[in-house]
């Protein structure tokens, strides 16, 4: 299956808003990143204002998608996507900050 076909098949899996069930217009889907057989996409519901960040990928089992409901904008998602990875020291430091 070509990347283009797998991308469109994956979009069919997440074609409706999970909150209000409105249909996402395909032309308003934003591809944030594409690598190998995976696309990171952003969908925004114009009806209820919710958004989804989803990974649409192809593996030996076929096409799958994993979505996350978010209140982040496209720009915020990209800022976090391109940011530095969180390491164990970051987690320990955050724990110290939150406990004080």
pLDDT at 12: 53
Q: Taking Cα atoms as reference points, which of 70, 73, 77, 81 lies closest to residue 18?
A: 70
The two structure tokens encoding residue 42: 């952003």
pLDDT at 56: 84
The rounded distance, in Å, linking the Cα atoms of 57 and 9 is 10
- Compute the C-alpha angle 21/23/28, nearest 5°: 135
pLDDT at 90: 92
Residues 52-99: tens digit of each pLDDT: 898 888 877 777 788 889 988 888 988 888 877 889 999 999 999 999
Residues 5-51: tens digit of each pLDDT: 555 555 555 677 888 888 877 777 888 888 888 888 898 888 888 89
Written as one string, the DSSP assignment of 20-62 is T-PBPPGGG-EEEEEETTEEEEEEE-TTT--EEEEEEEEETTE
Residue spans per domain, the chain: 3-99
């Amino acid at each position: 299956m070509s990347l283009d076909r797998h991308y469109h098949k994956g979009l069919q899996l997440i074609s409706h808003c999970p909150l209000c069930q409105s249909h996402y217009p395909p032309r308003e889907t934003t591809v944030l990143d594409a690598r190998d057989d995976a696309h990171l996409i952003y969908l925004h519901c114009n009806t209820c204002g919710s958004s989804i960040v989803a990974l649409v990928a192809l593996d030996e089992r076929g096409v799958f998608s994993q979505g996350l409901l978010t209140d982040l904008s496209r720009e915020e998602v990209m800022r976090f996507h391109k940011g530095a990875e969180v390491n164990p020291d970051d987690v320990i430091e955050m724990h110290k900050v939150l406990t004080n």
